Amino acid sequence: MNKKTIRDIDPKGKRVFVRVDFNVPLRGGEISDDTRIRASLPTLQDLLDRGGALIVASHLGRPDGKRVPEMSLAPVAKRLSELLGRPVRMMDDCVGPEVKAAVAAMKPGDVAMLENLRFHPDEEAGDEGFAKQLAGLADIYVNDAFGTAHRAHASTAVMAKFLPAVAGLLVEKEAEMLSRVLESPERPLVAILGGLKPKIGVITNLMKRVDTLLIGGGMAYTFLKAQGKEIGKSVLDEKSLDLAKQILAQSAKSGPPVVLPMDVLITTDLKEGAPTKVVSVDEIPADWMGADIGPETRQRFAQAIKSAKMVVWNGPMGVFEIAAFAEGTRAIAQAVADSAAMSIVGGGDSAAAIEQMGFGEKVTHVCTGGGASLEFLEGKELPGIAALQDR
Ligand code: 3PG
Ligand code: MG
């Protein structure tokens, strides 16, 4: 990454504004997965060790510019305090005279957590005045919010205009991992894509780089339809149909191979206990729908993964939230975990799946950003990274 990082600054005696992505899942006020908080600890700890005072800021959920008490970052501040082993002072807002006064009194080693940035509509609007107010709290700006780096919001991108602006260690690590896939992969490089809709931009960009592309999950049915197959009531993305045809034609002409499911697990209803059967992709009845890849496909995909030196995986193979339709995703998670290849798992559902299935430790890198890692793999410049100072 050609951007400055926290290694290029001296935080001693400074107030450092650290934008993190602590948009964690909350159930009944309890954090059900604190991966994203843990992922930014190296950055926060390093800045504290070197004498900085930290103003930690994040969004949580999508409160749409209003104060929504259930989306307060207070439970996150509590967890952060436990993980850092020092007090974290929770603020009542992210701007305003009280916040300003409180941060002005901060000493080296102090940590304050601002309230949800998205309680203000100016955050998502990328408002300059709001960004300036946030910048006015600190001496240095650090972006460690990889999961939100694809958003050009006040705190993720605009603020960087007003302060020395550098990347945190998480943003650096994520960008380096994903850049390796795009720029200097080990070969063979195998990509596995799943999830609901075809990620055409990602597929197009990866087609230029991978040795094999495996497509499963909901998006596979649009490709099967593009081949002229009956897909019954399976999910179809009409808008992507023509592009899917083009991608298959390109693959047939000049490669790389795009491998679609050969068999699928179908059902009449995406519910636990609904009838299921495994059929060839040429035999999907008109009133059934695909819910997962079948056993032959699991084996074919696992084989491809086994032969890879580098694997990148984004998106589940089926409706894995329902146990009856989770086998495909489990098999891929297992294959990725078993392989000796360098493995990078995109954020969002596939990251949740790999953690939930207990394989998180066995992959090289699990991204903390879903949308952000997809846009990165699409070859797009992420505004949150672009805004930082060049090295
Ligand atoms: C996420 O979890 O996707 C990030 O925190 C960004 O949130 P957003 O999709 O609501 O912008
Ligand atoms: Mg998102």
Rounded CA separation 348/152 (Å): 20
The 10s digit of each residue's pLDDT in 57-103 is: 999 999 999 999 999 999 999 999 999 999 999 999 999 999 999 99
Whether residue 375 has its Cβ less than 6 Å from ligand 1:
no
Whether residue 148 has its Cβ less than 6 Å from ligand 1:
yes
Residue 133: its pLDDT value, please? 98
The 10s digit of each residue's pLDDT in 115-136 is: 999 999 999 999 999 999 999 9
Q: Which of 19, 21, 22, 23 to mutate to test the pocket of ligand 1 (most atoms within 8 A of CB)?
A: 23
Q: What are phi and psi of 15, to 5 degrees?
A: -95, 120
How would residue 360 be classed by pLDDT, with cut points 50, 70 and 90?
confident
Q: What are phi and psi of 98, to 5 degrees?
A: -70, -40
Nearest to 326 by CA among 265, 389, 254, 242: 265
Ligand 2 centroid to Cα of residue 24, in Å, is 11
Ligand 1 centroid to Cα of residue 148, in Å, is 6
Active site residue 52: no
Q: Which of 19, 21, 116 to mutate to test the pocket of ligand 1 (most atoms within 8 A of CB)?
A: 21
Residue 265 in contact with residue 292, Cβ under 8 Å?
A: yes
Active site residue 348: yes
Name beta bridge partners: 165.
141
- What whole-number percentage of the chain has pLDDT above 70? 100
Residue 260 in contact with residue 301, Cβ under 8 Å?
A: no
**Which residue is associated with the tokens 């926290």?**
6
Whether residue 61 has its Cβ less than 6 Å from ligand 1:
no
Q: Which of 20, 40, 71, 148 to mutate to test the pocket of ligand 1 (most atoms within 8 A of CB)?
A: 148
Ligand 1 centroid to Cα of residue 253, in Å, is 38
Whether residue 19 has its Cβ less than 6 Å from ligand 1:
no
Q: Which of 28-37, 204-213, 381-390 has the least mean pLDDT?
A: 28-37
| Set 38, 132, 197, 362: catalytic member | 197
Active site residue 201: no
DSSP assignment string, 304-364:
HHHT-SEEEEES-SS-TTSGGG-HHHHHHHHHHHH--SEEEE-STHHHHHHHHTT-GGGSS
Q: What are phi and psi of 231, to 5 degrees?
A: -115, 10
Whether residue 199 has its Cβ less than 6 Å from ligand 1:
no
pTM of the model: 0.94
Instruction: Determine the average pLDDT of the residues in 380-391.
Output: 97
Which numbered atom of ligand 1 lies nearest the CA of 372? 3
The 10s digit of each residue's pLDDT in 50-68 is: 999 999 999 999 999 999 9
How would residue 349 be classed by pLDDT, with cut points 50, 70 and 90?
confident
Which residues make up the environment of ion ligand 2, defined by Cβ < 5 Å?
A: 371
Instruction: Determine the average pLDDT of the residues in 164-182.
Output: 97
Instruction: Determine the average pLDDT of the residues in 263-287.
Output: 97
Residue 89: its pLDDT value, please? 98
